[in-house]
Amino acid sequence: MSKQGYFQAGDRIQLTDPKGKLYSFTITPGKEWHTHKGWITHDDLIGLPEGSVVSTTAGLKFTAFIPLLADYVLSMPRGATIVYPKDAAMIVGVADVYPGARVLEAGVGSGALTLSLLRAVGPEGSVHSVERRQDFADNATANITDYFGEKPANWSLDVGSVQEKEFAHEFDRVILDMLAPWECVEMAAKVLRPGGVFLAYVATTTQLSATAEALKEDGHFTEPESSETIVRGWHHEGLAVRPQQRMIGHTGFLIQSRRMAPGVDVLPRRRRPAKGAYGVAEE
């Protein structure tokens, strides 16, 4: 993928028409991209700077850019529901995924979150992914290879259950996108270094509660914290500024905690639980 601001053969290009509709394809010498109003020759795109306006043979105009990661993720082939860009950005930030980090990811799906993790850890870091379904693993591999132009050398993918895997080293971060992350808390305690971050992405409050209680009962993690991210876009035409009627509301919850040092007891929380938080006490 070009990083110099000029289109090259093999780049993914994104064309946007005046109505905001997006089109994306890979620049391939000798090919043509056809529309209902003429076509664009791929060779004519090579060497143009990003942000150029290109026209079909019939005069239909498009703005041309290399897609942002969010654009690529929303348009790539899906075998499973993706982690939306708003949540992927929060996961990278909340889990503090830094250049050089060693990340264990379970639940690859279509590879959307994996792309963000690989970009965050950089070439000095690594991402070890585990996916239960072979078809999801194959689709994710195709998407990630297509995005980077090759399979990243610092990415490994195993098919199977993460609880049954053995790992040769500790990890700095464990990030789970799966149905029952509470089943992996014990495993995470074993593979996380002291101070490492556990983070799970779950869809329902039931999953959130079960994961929180598992972290508390395990005894190796700090008091978990949870959040969700809601993004609302805005229209702006002169003084007519208003929120968009459609928005990406609830997609999932994030719950994160940190690995305590070996042999150190977790400090008990000082706040009192809400009445009825753990069911009705018997008389």
Q: Which residues are annotated as a binding site for S-adenosyl-L-methionine?
A: 110-113, 131, 177
Closest CA to 155 of 192, 114, 193: 114
137 Cβ contact list (under 8 Å, min separation 6): 108, 131, 157, 159
Which is nearest to 94 in space by CA: 223, 212, 208, 198? 198
Q: Which residues are annotated as a binding site?
A: 110-113, 131, 177
Residue of 132, 68, 124, 62 lying closest to 99 (CA atoms): 124
**3-class SS at 35?**
coil
Residue 101 has φ and ψ, to the nearest 5°, of -70, 150
Q: What is the DSSP letter of 165?
A: -
Radius of gyration of the chain (CA): 23
Which residues make beta-bridge pairs with 156?
128
Residue 131's DSSP bridge partners are: 159
Pick from 106, 112, 99: nearest CA to 154: 99
Query: Where are the strands (E) in 44-162, listed by range?
Result: 52-55, 61-65, 102-106, 126-131, 155-159
Token code pair at residue 211: 């994961």
267 CB-side CA count, 13 A: 4
Contact in structure between 37 and 58 (CB atoms under 8 Å): yes
